[in-house]
Amino acid sequence: MGNNHVIKVITIIMIPFIMLFGLYVQFHGEYSAGGGFQAGVIIAASIIVYDLIFRLDSSEEFLKLEIIETFVAIGITIYMLVGVIGFLYGGNFLDYNSLSSAYDSNSGQKIGIFLVELGVGITVSSVMMLIYHMFKDAGKS
């Protein structure tokens, strides 16, 4: 596939649309089918396809393992913080009602679901890329 210019051109054209679809799934997950897990897999798949088609060793420069591991930690931290905030305000773990303001009782649900899905999306995308890099590095030795 490395010398096939048609596949490379189609990949360059399609990757932005795949990522845009992943972002759509991420930000509309609480209203329709989809959410953080699906969006994370879609976004990671677009990056993995790019790396498979172009066979770049420079992808490690763009996506260093330390950076990917940092994003795993960021995603888990976002998820855990939303859960812990429920405890701090006297509710249960992931109790979105504790995020509500005094003026709008539904705002906590919306903010909580959005943040949890964002944390899940970041974590899943990063873990998928870590798994890909593990398989890629295993083939080198």
Indicate whether 50 pLDDT > 90: no
If one counts the domains in the chain, the total is: 1
Residue 43 CB contacts under 8 Å (≥ 6 apart), including other chains:
19, 22, 23, 26, 121, 125
- 35 within 8 A of 29, measured Cβ to Cβ: yes
Q: What is the pTM of this model?
A: 0.84
What residue numbers bound the domain in which 67 lies? Answer: 5-140
**What pLDDT band is residue 57 in, cutting at 50, 70 and 90?**
low
Residue (of 80, 50, 57, 70) closest to 127 by Cα position: 70
